[in-house]
Amino acid sequence: MNSQAEFVAALLDPERDCPADLKTWNGSDPAARFAVYRNNVLSSLIDALAASFPVVQQLVGETFFRAMAAVYVRHSPPRTRILADYGADFPAFIQGFAPAASLPYLADVARLELLRIRAYHAADAAPLDADALATALAAPERLASLLLRLQPALGLLDSAFAVVSLWAAHQGALTLAEVDLDQAQCALVLRNGLEVEVLGIRSGDAVLIQALLQGRPLGAATQLALACDPAFDLGACLAHLLRAGAITHCAYDTQRPLP
C-alpha cells in the first residue's frame, strides 16, 4: 500500500495506527495531531449525512444515527469533493444494517430524502405550455404515439411503506399517530422553483410516469398503468403533471411504439 492509500485507510479506521512516515511542521506528536484530524473528518462526514437525511435521523434519534453513519463512513469514503453527492448508497447500507432491522421502512425514507437532494440539484427545465399539450391531446388518433418528456428533477419511489405520510408527519402536516406504516405508497418528487415537493400518487400514475421516463409513448404507458390500476385516470394524471410543471416537451413518435 502506498503512503497516500495508507493515510486514507488510517484516516477512516480508528483501529489503525497513525501512518509511520507522517511528520509535523512544528515537531509536535504526529499521532496526536492525526487523531484530531481523523475525528474532524469523521464528524464532518457524519454531519453531511445528517444534513442530507434529516428525517432518517429524527426517526432513529441523533445518537443512533451518528453511530450508524460512522460505520457507513468508514466503509464508504467520499469519491468526489462535492459533499452534496455523498451518501448515494446510504439507503442500501441502511437496508443491510442489522441494528436498524426493526425499522424496515427506514431505507425507503432514506431513498425519498436522496430523491429530494437529486431534485434540488437537477438541471433547470422550462415547463411545457398548457396550450401545447392541449393541442397534442386534441388529436386522439395520434395519442398512442405521443412522447412526453419530464423534468430532470422528477423522481419516483414505489414503497411498501407509508413513506409519503412519514415525510409529511416530520414536516408537521400530520402526526405520527395518524400514519399507518404498513400502507404502501408511491412518492413523486419534483422541484417547483427552488422548492422540492413530495407528493403521494396512485400506483397507476407511478407506472405511467415510469414508462414515460423510459421513453415509452403515451399509448403503451397508459396500457401498463391500466394493467396495474384498472381505475387509472389518464386525464387526471396528465392534468396533475401539467399543474406541477413536470412536463417539459411533447412530440410524436415516428417509430413503432414500444410494447
Which tens digit of pLDDT belongs to each residue from 164-217?
999 999 988 888 888 899 999 999 999 987 889 999 999 999 999 999 999 999
* 249 membership: H or E segment, kind and range: strand 247-252
- Name the 3-class secondary structure at 250: strand
Q: How many CA atoms lie within 13 A of 111 on its CB side?
A: 22
> Per-residue b/e over 36-70, b at no fewer than 16 CB within 10 Å?
eebeebbeebbebbeebbebbbebbeeeebbebbb
Encoded amino acid at 8, one letter: V
Q: What is the pLDDT of residues 93-150, one digit of tens each?
A: 999 999 999 999 999 999 999 999 999 999 988 998 888 888 888 888 888 999 999 9
What CA–CA distances, in Å, run from 51 to 7, 88, 120, 122, 243? 27, 14, 14, 18, 30
> What DSSP character marks residue 230?
T
Q: What is the pLDDT of residue 257?
A: 46
